Amino acid sequence: MSKPRIVVAIDRPDLGQALSLTAHLDPALCRLKVGMELFTAAGPAAVEALQRQGFDVFLDLKFHDIPNTVAGACRSAAALGVWMVNVHASGGPRMLGAAVEALAGGPSRPVLVGVTLLTSLDGTELAAVGMPGDPAERVLHLARCCANAGLDGVVCSPLEIVPLRAALGEQFTLVTPGIRAPGEALDDQQRTLAPAAALAAGATYLVIGRPITRALDPGAALRALAASVPSD
Ligand code: C5P
């Protein structure tokens, strides 16, 4: 069965608002990303309710803790039946390995991706926290750490797709936010690509929020975007 490459970011403050949005979305055309806002408000019940509507869920909680704790969190995510889960690459090789091991062998193993550098961190911010140097090199280094530890891929900005695809090969999963159709409002995104351009550059999955969630007709916005994004 073909699987959608569009992942709609359901950044909503409660489950009621999330469900009134997803009622307009077709699970054949998208998967959903549940992040800290909704999960902190509504917890596992939110994931389960969205799954009951037929959606695959990317649980975007960016786990970052000692290996034992992250392993436990990954097992809890797998028990929820989520499709994808993520951890911070800077947690270190032992933490990444613990996450991989925690998910191995389960009945339906979630896709495990790493967060390299938050795209909100530019060179100045990184230097301020004692990490000088070229952010792009740091992203590549952390993505290699993820690959070496056995993660399936990373979350990356549109600008990072080409170098990461070249360095890490065709099988590595690249999950890319910052997607905007040409001429569309950028919101707070600085670097964007259109859906077709992101796929052509080598993205595997496209995370799209406000262009769908703030549209007057979210279902129609999704259908329009999906027309330029073939399923995998
Ligand atoms: O509304 P928009 O399309 O900008 O939403 C993008 C989603 O991807 C949001 O949930 C945002 O938190 C997330 N994200 C991002 N940039 C990153 C990582 C995640 O925009 N580098």
* pLDDT tens column, 57-68: 999 999 999 999
CA distance 68 to 51: 28
Ligand 1 atom with least separation from CA of 33: 10
**Pocket perturbation via mutation, ligand 1, pick of 175, 207, 208, 229 by most ligand atoms within 8 A of CB:** 207
- Contact indicator for 195, 228 with CB cutoff of 8 Å: yes
More confident residue, 91 or 188: 91
Residue whose structure tokens are 């800077």: 90
Count, residues in the chain: 232
d(CA 121, CA 88): 14
What Å distances lie between residue 133 and 129, 136, 160, CA to CA?
Answer: 12, 9, 16
Distance separating alpha carbons of residues 49 and 46, to the nearest angstrom? 5
Residue type, 48: E
What are the residues facing 51 on neighbouring strands? Answer: none
Around 61, how many Cα atoms within 13 Å sit in the side-chain half-sphere? 19
DSSP summary character for residue 122: -
Q: What is the mean pLDDT of residues 158-174?
A: 97
CATH node for 6-226: 3.20.20.70
Indicate whether residue 22 lines ligand 1 (CB < 6 A). no
- Contact in structure between 146 and 96 (CB atoms under 8 Å): yes
Mean pLDDT over 112-141 rounds to 91
Query: Residue 90 and residue 38: Cα distance in Å, rounded?
Result: 24
What is the pLDDT at residue 14? 98
The share of the chain scoring above pLDDT 70, in percent, equals 99
Q: Considering only 2-6, 113-117, 150-154, which range has the smallest mean pLDDT?
A: 2-6
pLDDT band at 19 (very low <50, low <70, confident <90, very high): very high
The CA distance from 135 to 121, in Å, is 8
62 is catalytic: yes
Q: Ligand 1 center to residue 189 CA distance, Å?
A: 8
Contacting residues for 67 by C-beta, under 8 A, at least 6 apart: 91, 94, 95, 97, 98, 99
Kindly name the residue from 15, 24, 39, 62 that is annotated as catalytic: 62
Q: Would you place residue 171 in the very low, low, confident or very high pLDDT band (cuts 50, 70, 90)? A: very high
Q: Is 116 in the pocket of ligand 1 (CB under 6 A)?
A: no
| 188 CA closest ligand 1 atom index | 4
What does pTM read for this prediction? 0.95
Residue 168 in this model has a pLDDT that exceeds 80: yes
Q: Which of 116, 34, 117, 43 is nearest to 83 (CA)?
A: 34
